Structure 1
Amino acid sequence: MSGKMASCIFCKIIKGEIPCFKLFESDKTLAFLDINPLSKGHALVIPKHHGEKLTDIPDDQLAEVLPTVKKLAAATGANEWNLLQNNGKGAHQEVGHVHFHMIPKPNAEEGLGISWPQQKTDMDALKKLFEDVKGKM
């Protein structure tokens, strides 16, 4: 086991070394309540495969993530909610193991708050970007 995995809090939770409020578990996926919630029912869904960013996780290890998020939303009774997944410290990732937040948004004060710093669109630059990204898909 690599040093990162040995010190990873989510890997320790997966192995049962640290307790959690487990909501769902399979051979590839674990879901549990967030202990620092933004709202009632805020939960995490993680692949058991250790990887820091989404691009580090094999596709087959992610197959249950969205169905589990859907079940959590229904089970918590969330009518409106956010699904958040951050990649890298600059993008607000605090734990270096891929995780998805299901955050109920019951009102304006609770849940996830978002600013959306929309940029002015240069259509020529957008077309060039489109061609570049599409060519790499």
Structure 2
Amino acid sequence: MESCAFCRIVAGEADAHRVYESERVVAFLDANPAVRGHTLVVPVAHGDDVFANDADAGAVFEAVRTLADALERALDVDGVSVFYTTPRIVGGVDHPHVHLLPRDSADGVHLSLPRGSLDDGEATALTARVREGL
């Protein structure tokens, strides 16, 4: 897609510091990092959701695993936070992408979610609905 910033990076038409490439995946340092080493993993093919294509999903998350290990070794961090949100939910860049954030205890990053409670009846019903969807 001509208007997609990540498609331009994948095509080599826009600059990015690439750290990984394969037939289906490109990974590069985020130009506006939350932490040192913040990396984005994107499928080569533009789409609405990384999970829409089994081969792309497998390639993306295999790259995520490989890069998480590499980032931990290269940056000597405590771990890596990984997150993905379907692009249509968050806006911004509509090309599917996974964020990898190398983490240490003093990085100041807070990835907290408001928490509720789950009663047994709701959990049972939800479990059944998810299993029906498999």
Aligned to 2:36: 40
- The superposition leaves residues 51-104 of structure 1 with CA deviations (integer Å, 9 ceiling, x where unpaired) of 122343x111222223322332233333311011111454x3521011011101
Is the 1:83–1:100 Cα contact (8 Å) retained in structure 2? yes
SS at match of 2:19: strand
Is the 2:43–2:50 Cα contact (8 Å) retained in structure 1? no
Aligned to 2:100: 102
Letter aligned with residue 129 of structure 2: D
- Unaligned 5+ runs, structure 2: none
The reply to whether residue 30 of structure 1 matches residue 26 of structure 2 is: yes
Is the 2:80–2:100 Cα contact (8 Å) retained in structure 1? yes
Match of 2:55 among 53, 60, 64: 60
CA distance in 2, matches of 1:37, 1:28: 24
- Unaligned 5+ runs, structure 1: none
Is the 1:86–1:93 Cα contact (8 Å) retained in structure 2? no
Is the 1:53–1:96 Cα contact (8 Å) retained in structure 2? no
Is the 2:16–2:28 Cα contact (8 Å) retained in structure 1? yes
Q: Percent identity?
A: 31
TM-score by length of 2: 0.85
CA distance in 1, matches of 2:82, 2:127: 26
CA distance in 1, matches of 2:100, 2:119: 34
CA distance in 2, matches of 1:125, 1:63: 32
The reply to whether residue 86 of structure 1 matches residue 85 of structure 2 is: yes
Aligned to 2:130: 133
TM-score by length of 1: 0.83
Distance 1:64 1:88, change over 3 A: closer
Matched residue count:
130
CA distance in 1, matches of 2:86, 2:68: 22
